[in-house]
Amino acid sequence: MTSQVAVWFDALHVGDVVVAPDGALTFVYSEKWLATNGAFPLSTTLPLARTHYPPEVISPWLANLLPEEEQLRLLTLTLGLDQADTLALLQEIGGDTAGALSFGAPSERAAWTYTPLTAFYGVDDPVVALDRHFDDLQRRPFLAGEDGVRLSLAGGQKKSALAVLNSRGEPVLRLPTDGDVLAIPRNGAPSTVILKPDNPNLPGIVENETYCLHLARAIGLTSAQASILSVGRRNAICVLRYDRRIGRNGLQRVHQEDFAQANGVPPGKKYERGTVAGPNLASLLTTGRHLSAADALSLLDYVIFNILIANTDAHAKNYSLLLPVGAAPRLAPLYDVSTVLPWPNVVQYFAQNLAGKKRKPGDIDARHWDRIAESVGYRPADVRARVTELVDRLVAHRVATEKTVSALSGHTSGYVEQAAREIEENALRISGRLRPSKMV
């Protein structure tokens, strides 16, 4: 006996994940989807074709849609499922995932509903409601098991996927402003924002990440839009989902996949170092082969930026491709960026080896940049020039960006200034080491 779980784009049947008697998963596109004008592939590893994709291709791709670590443990306890049963988990929570797809049931626009947090928790104050929501997430990630709620986000950090509603109760694609309402998507409705509350183990993480995203945008990189929400006893970063758009029929999903999925590795291999190595820096940069020349250079800028700010957790799941309807893949905006410099107890070594060795970002010099450039076929002189240019932009925009983020309601004083100062010092240290030096 075999069973299968349907994969949907809104109400369109994309294909099926087929479960063999031994539990092995395969994937096949539906004939109707293959004949659909503007059909997109699930992944660059799953091109549109009349074939059955084997377990080694589809299984890691699916696993990357689920939360990790403690979040996954709590989720499976709530649902009474095995952590290893990826498909069963997606049947339960895969109504609104990273990207455009739903698992098990279609996302019928007529059935979409949104429940304001105030109504869900039975309170009038939206701040109190959001505070209760974050407490709720400690016990059941993504409100798993709640009637009509099927939400999933990857990663190990506690977070929530919500929707911003305007004064008429309609979902809008913007960061919340006065008069807007935060609501829980139900019955296949798409979320529009991701909220990540502060973390006592990483003091200032909300201000830190918000500053880094604003800084990236200030120096010309495309980054996710973010702001800070005050939540009673705490604060949270609110990030606008870039895998959503407003179309002719209103809010729509845009398909995406992260670089772990695009390179066919499970979430446990998102870092280069480990018992079984994950993608190295050259692998991540050559993922740009799926992109236009301009986007491939933007990807290089993302990598340089992550090194300049010492975002040492820039693993394979922190870069993504957009796979929009009827168009070539594009590079997704930069997201999940923060500097580890204020937290000396957090790993200070970069997620991938730099020029073949485990290094701290601030220790990289001209020869290391040359090795990185040569590994992907770029001219070393061009890469060094680009590093210098981005450092100059970073220094030039530091003060204005610091003021912008420090002016946001809900921020805690001191954290933005600390992140800005330490990032600039690290970037200038790297810039000062660009003079050719002996390889170490």
Q: List pLDDT tens digits, range 361-395.
A: 999 999 999 999 999 999 999 999 999 999 999 99
Domain boundary among 36, 62, 95: 95
DSSP bridge pairs for 114: 185
Residue 409 has pLDDT above 60, yes or no: yes
Banded model confidence at residue 277, pLDDT cuts 50, 70, 90? confident
Q: List pLDDT tens digits, range 88-114.
A: 999 999 999 999 999 999 999 999 999
Catalytic pick among 131, 198, 295, 313: 313
Residue 356 has pLDDT above 50, yes or no: yes
Taking residues 203-227, what's their average pLDDT? 98
Residue 246 has pLDDT above 70, yes or no: yes
> What gap in Å lies between CA 283 and CA 216, rounded to an integer?
23
Domain boundary among 61, 95, 129: 95
Do the domain assignments include residue 439? no
Do the domain assignments include residue 246? no
Banded model confidence at residue 2, pLDDT cuts 50, 70, 90? low
**Poorest-pLDDT segment among 85-89, 212-216, 274-278, 285-289:** 274-278
Q: What are 372's two structure tokens?
A: 């990185």
Determine whether 85 is an active site residue: no
- The reported pLDDT for the residue numbered 83 is 84
**Poorest-pLDDT segment among 12-26, 174-188, 254-268, 426-440:** 426-440
Banded model confidence at residue 326, pLDDT cuts 50, 70, 90? confident
Residues 7 and 120 grouped into a single domain: no
Do the domain assignments include residue 180? yes
Q: What are 195's two structure tokens?
A: 């909220």
CB-based contacts of 392-401 (< 8 A; 24+ apart in sequence): 393/218, 393/219, 393/220, 394/215, 394/219, 394/308, 394/423, 394/424, 394/427, 395/424, 395/427, 395/428, 397/215, 397/218, 397/219, 398/215, 398/423, 398/424, 400/218, 401/211, 401/214, 401/215, 401/218
Residue 156 has pLDDT above 90, yes or no: no
Do the domain assignments include residue 248? no
Residue 439 has pLDDT above 60, yes or no: no
Q: What are 418's two structure tokens?
A: 């600390």
Banded model confidence at residue 248, pLDDT cuts 50, 70, 90? confident
Query: Coil, strand, or helix at residue 302?
Result: helix
Domain boundary among 185, 217, 240: 240
Number of domains in the chain: 3
Taking residues 305-311, what's their average pLDDT? 98
> What gap in Å lies between CA 364 and CA 359, rounded to an integer?
7
What interhelical angle do 69-79 and 86-93 show, nearest 10?
70
Do the domain assignments include residue 247? no
Residues 267 and 410 grouped into a single domain: yes
Do the domain assignments include residue 104? no
With b for 16 or more beta-carbon neighbours within 10 A and e for fewer, the 359-370 pattern comes to: bbbbbbbbbbbb
- The reported pLDDT for the residue numbered 75 is 85
The whole-angstrom distance between residue 237's C-alpha and the CA centroid of its chain comes to 14
Q: What are 421's two structure tokens?
A: 């100062």
Exposed, middle or buried by CB within 10 Å (0-12, 13-18, 19+), for 89? Answer: buried
Residues 9 and 59 grouped into a single domain: yes
Residues 36 and 132 grouped into a single domain: no
Residues 43 and 113 grouped into a single domain: no
Residues 76 and 177 grouped into a single domain: no
> What gap in Å lies between CA 103 and CA 9, rounded to an integer?
9
> What gap in Å lies between CA 310 and CA 299, rounded to an integer?
16
Backbone angles phi, psi at 179, to 5 degrees: 95, -15
Alpha-carbon dihedral sign for residues 203, 219, 257, 377: negative
Residues 281 and 425 grouped into a single domain: yes
Residues 50 and 80 grouped into a single domain: yes
Q: What are 391's two structure tokens?
A: 């450092």
Report CA-CA distances (Å) from 207 to 52, 203, 334, 390. 46, 9, 17, 22
Banded model confidence at residue 436, pLDDT cuts 50, 70, 90? low
- The reported pLDDT for the residue numbered 440 is 44
Selection from 58-72, 152-166, 289-303 with the highest mean pLDDT: 289-303
- The reported pLDDT for the residue numbered 69 is 84
Exposed, middle or buried by CB within 10 Å (0-12, 13-18, 19+), for 290? Answer: middle
Residue 360 has pLDDT above 60, yes or no: yes
Residues 290 and 412 grouped into a single domain: yes
Q: Of 383, 372, 380, 366, which Cα lies nearest the Cα of 350?
A: 372
Banded model confidence at residue 1, pLDDT cuts 50, 70, 90? very low
Banded model confidence at residue 137, pLDDT cuts 50, 70, 90? confident
- DSSP for 35-72, written as a single string: TSTT---SBTTB-S-SSEEPHHHHHHHHHTTSB-HHHH
Residues 91 and 135 grouped into a single domain: no
**Poorest-pLDDT segment among 22-26, 306-310, 386-390:** 22-26
Q: What percent of the chain has pLDDT over 70?
A: 98
Residues 232 and 319 grouped into a single domain: no
Do the domain assignments include residue 250? no
Report CA-CA distances (Å) from 372 to 336, 352, 363, 436. 23, 11, 14, 14
Domain of residue 261: give its range: 255-432
> Residue 268 belongs to a domain with what CATH number?
1.10.1070
Residue 235 has pLDDT above 80, yes or no: yes
Residues 236 and 259 grouped into a single domain: no
The whole-chain average pLDDT of the chain stands at 93
Do the domain assignments include residue 223? yes
Q: What are 64's two structure tokens?
A: 């990357």
